Amino acid sequence: MTPPRRIFTHRITDHGFDSPSVAGSEIFPYWSFTKTALAICALRMVEQGLLSLDMPLAGYDFSLRQLLNHTSGLPDYGALPAYREAVARNEEPWPATRLLEVAMAQGRLFGPGAGWAYSNVGYLLVRDLTEQASGWSFAQNIKLLICDPLGLGSIALASSRQQFGRVLWGGAQSYHPGWVYHGCLTGTAADAARLLHGLFAGRLLGPEMLAQMCQCQPLGGALPGRPWTECGYGLGVMSGSWGAAGRVIGHTGGGPFSVNAVYHFPDMAQPLTVASFTDGQEEGIAEHAAAARAHPA
């Protein structure tokens, strides 16, 4: 008999934070929720005049906005057989130059702004841009621009096997976080919820930039096995509707051994944010858990 899956779900509102059934100290990989944090850093730098949102990047024909909303036309690397085989063999990550060479050999998918395609390659470039613009490493940007203002003590960038070793799930022992080329943050479910809630409380971006971040490109309707009834993408955030739970803005993440869903629910009588983490590879399980915690039946 298969043991029941452990789901760690934390909720926060403007009046406080609740964690009904877990200790709260467990450390998880944030996977693609890292994209939201990376987008926040980039948009903070746009506000500071260090980056431009819409000017073509030097040497490229696309803009930062198009990288952040996946309309640059860059390919992805996640489905490449050589990449997947190397990860499965628990090899050391390739140098970023090799990764880019292999990924870009697939060719551009479309011209900038002419379509939509999820691209981790694009977010690797965003990471590079933020490091160049600020003169700080990605880890320093996260600390100074997000964690320090919000008082988030558990969040850290995992760049080595040793750093990834603090993750709860046993699968972390046979995975190098360097395979996530834009970076893989780790931290508690509580701090994931606090990060996103702090964003929508106006503590990280000004109102105009936050509105730009949430400007959603519609991508379709219901997704099988998942709570989405409408889905779209903004600047580093997934956005749409989850049926009775209403509008949601945040990000789902997944890797070889775990998944998560970190979402803000602005239409509730009291706006709230939920972060859910579980093992396995079914993103819908984490999303449904977040929906249930936000909108109990």
CA angle 183, 258, 129 (to 5 degrees): 15
197 Cβ contact list (under 8 Å, min separation 6): 12, 13, 264, 272, 273
pLDDT given at position 14: 84
Rounded-to-integer distance, Cα 181 and Cα 95, Å:
10
pLDDT given at position 65: 98
The single residue listed with the structure tokens 């949601």 is 248
* pLDDT of residue 4 exceeding 90: no
Are 87 and 175 a contacting pair, CB within 8 Å?
Answer: yes
Strand order in the sheet with 238-241: 16-18, 7-13, 272-279, 258-265, 247-254, 238-241, 230-233, 217-220
Rounded-to-integer distance, Cα 11 and Cα 273, Å:
6
Crossing angle of the two packed helices 33-47 and 189-200, in degrees rounded to 10: 40
Report the length, in residues, of the chain.
297
* pLDDT of residue 281 exceeding 70: yes
Longest dimension (CA), the chain: 57
Structure tokens at 164: 């990834």
Are 121 and 114 a contacting pair, CB within 8 Å?
Answer: no
Element (H, E) at 67: helix 64-68
Rounded-to-integer distance, Cα 14 and Cα 200, Å:
10
pLDDT in tens, 23-57: 578 999 999 999 999 999 999 999 999 999 999 99
* pLDDT of residue 72 exceeding 70: yes
pLDDT in tens, 226-244: 999 999 999 999 999 999 8
Structure tokens at 87: 């990860």
* pLDDT of residue 178 exceeding 70: yes
pLDDT in tens, 125-171: 999 999 999 999 999 999 999 999 999 999 999 999 999 999 999 99
Rounded-to-integer distance, Cα 251 and Cα 71, Å:
17
Rounded-to-integer distance, Cα 133 and Cα 136, Å:
8
Alpha carbon separation from 43 to 31, 160, 250 (Å, rounded): 20, 27, 16
